[in-house]
């Protein structure tokens, strides 16, 4: 009986420790979700009667603590009260580690339309936060003046040591789409950023801003890195912007990988001043600038570094160019780079997404059961041996 009791206790301890090791997030404080409904609420049920309409979003954020979620139901939310921090004018302040998520990207609409002019979201010195599944529109310019509104969809003023995630958003009809400055570790993924008056995404004095799987079109500049910024642009389509597709300047260091960059009115990939850019797997074509090469163009002392397996073709005034001459040489025919209409390629191999087995939840479950079985077998045999010795 004594051995059996110790065996049961030991197995319980083993399983508890194992779960903590394999699934460390399974034992943690319970977070609260606050539901916000449109005004009038209709059939929607807010988690608090005050959490309705634009003001309800503000109240739900104010009531939340780090780790909580503010869930916004479908509807159009407008008529926000304008706020400022002495520098910027804005409607929604995120300065906690929260998840702010809409019911659907197309039908949960955060709008700044109205007489007040401000940026929609101000993210101020917070990380481990997520803004997702929303349409964000109507950020209006109100400058010069202090405080000032740059009319941003999302203004990222600063982040902490973890990652701020902006995902599954449609950001349109603002002065700027996203502007991140003085920040680090920002992830922009699976977004549509279009029809903003100036830059779709503007990155200044920001490190590790990684943008992926997004559609950026009908802005002035599609994506612009400046002021010593760094990051990666990958798996995205940048098209039909009235300026450059991707613009890298002011000592920024950026990798561009596996993007489609086409039909921009200026240059597909523009490198300026002391910027450094590498890339692989991009297709850059049919960009329209005629003043100089409109595919990839370098000037001042910009550097086009490691450049492999790219297809730069059919750009209006040349695929590669630079000022001064020789700064950004034609890469066609080296390191797998081509300049050819893909319609003439025979049976191109499809690009398949990588699957990280470590991230596969089914694999984790199977591994957990195997480990538990092995552990229990070992302990059973161990205590059986002890029982025999005691007898």
All domains of the chain in start order, with CATH: 33-351 (2.160.20)
Q: What's residue 383's pLDDT?
A: 43
Q: What's residue 126's pLDDT?
A: 79
The 10s digit of each residue's pLDDT in 92-101 is 999 999 999 9
Can you list the positions of beta strands (E) in 173-272? 176-181, 184-189, 192-194, 201-204, 207-212, 215-217, 223-226, 230-234, 237-239, 246-248, 253-257, 260-262, 269-271
What is the Cα–Cα distance from 194 to 33, expressed in whole angstroms?
Answer: 30
Contact status, residue 145 vs residue 171, Cβ threshold 8 Å: no
Burial track 55-92 (b if 16+ CB lie within 10 A, e otherwise): bbbbbbbeebeeebbbbbbebbbbbbebbeeeebbbbb
**Considering just the CA atoms, what is the radius of gyration of the chain in Å?**
26
Q: What's residue 348's pLDDT?
A: 53
CB-side neighbour CA atoms (13 Å) of 185: 12
**Per-block mean pLDDT, blocks of 10 residues, the chain (391 long):** 47 43 52 97 97 98 97 97 92 96 98 93 89 98 87 90 94 97 94 98 95 98 97 98 97 98 98 96 98 96 96 97 92 97 66 44 49 51 46 40
Q: What's residue 1's pLDDT?
A: 47
Q: How is residue 49 written in tokens?
A: 């009667």
Q: What's residue 380's pLDDT?
A: 54
């Amino acid at each position: 009986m004594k051995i059996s009791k110790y065996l049961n206790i030991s197995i319980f301890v083993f399983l508890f420790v194992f779960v903590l090791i394999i699934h460390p997030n399974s034992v943690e404080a319970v977070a609260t979700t606050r539901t916000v409904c449109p005004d009038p609420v209709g059939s929607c049920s807010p988690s608090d009667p005050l959490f309705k309409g634009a003001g309800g979003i503000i109240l739900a954020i104010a009531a939340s603590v780090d780790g909580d979620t503010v869930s916004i139901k479908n509807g159009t939310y407008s008529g926000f009260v304008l706020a400022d921090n002495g520098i910027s004018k804005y409607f929604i302040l995120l300065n906690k580690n929260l998840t702010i998520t809409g019911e659907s990207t197309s039908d949960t609409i955060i709008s700044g339309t109205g007489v007040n002019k401000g940026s929609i979201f101000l993210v101020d010195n917070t990380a481990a936060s997520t803004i997702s599944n929303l349409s964000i529109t109507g950020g209006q310019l109100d400058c010069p003046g202090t405080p000032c509104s740059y009319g941003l969809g999302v203004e990222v003023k600063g982040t902490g040591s973890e990652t701020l995630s902006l995902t599954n958003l449609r950001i349109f009809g603002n002065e700027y789409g996203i502007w991140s400055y003085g920040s680090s570790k920002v992830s922009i993924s699976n977004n549509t950023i279009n029809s903003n008056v100036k830059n779709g995404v503007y990155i200044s004095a920001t490190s590790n801003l990684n943008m992926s799987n997004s559609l950026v079109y009908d802005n002035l500049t599609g994506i612009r890195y400046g002021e010593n910024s760094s990051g990666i642009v990958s798996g995205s389509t940048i098209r039909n912007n009235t300026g450059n597709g991707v613009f890298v300047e002011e000592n920024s260091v950026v990798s561009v990988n596996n993007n489609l960059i086409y039909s921009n009115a200026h240059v597909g990939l523009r490198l300026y001043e002391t910027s450094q850019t590498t890339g692989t797997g991009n297709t850059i074509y049919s960009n329209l600038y005629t003043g100089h090469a409109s595919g990839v163009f370098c000037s001042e002392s910009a550097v086009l570094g490691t450049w492999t397996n790219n297809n730069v073709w059919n750009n209006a005034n040349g695929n590669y160019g630079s000022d001064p001459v020789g700064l950004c040489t034609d890469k066609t025919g080296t390191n797998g780079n081509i300049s050819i209409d893909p319609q003439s390629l025979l049976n191109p191999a499809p690009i398949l997404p990588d699957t990280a087995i470590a991230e596969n939840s089914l694999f984790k479950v199977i591994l957990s059961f195997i480990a538990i079985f092995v552990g229990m077998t070992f302990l059973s045999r161990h205590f059986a041996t002890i029982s025999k010795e005691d007898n």
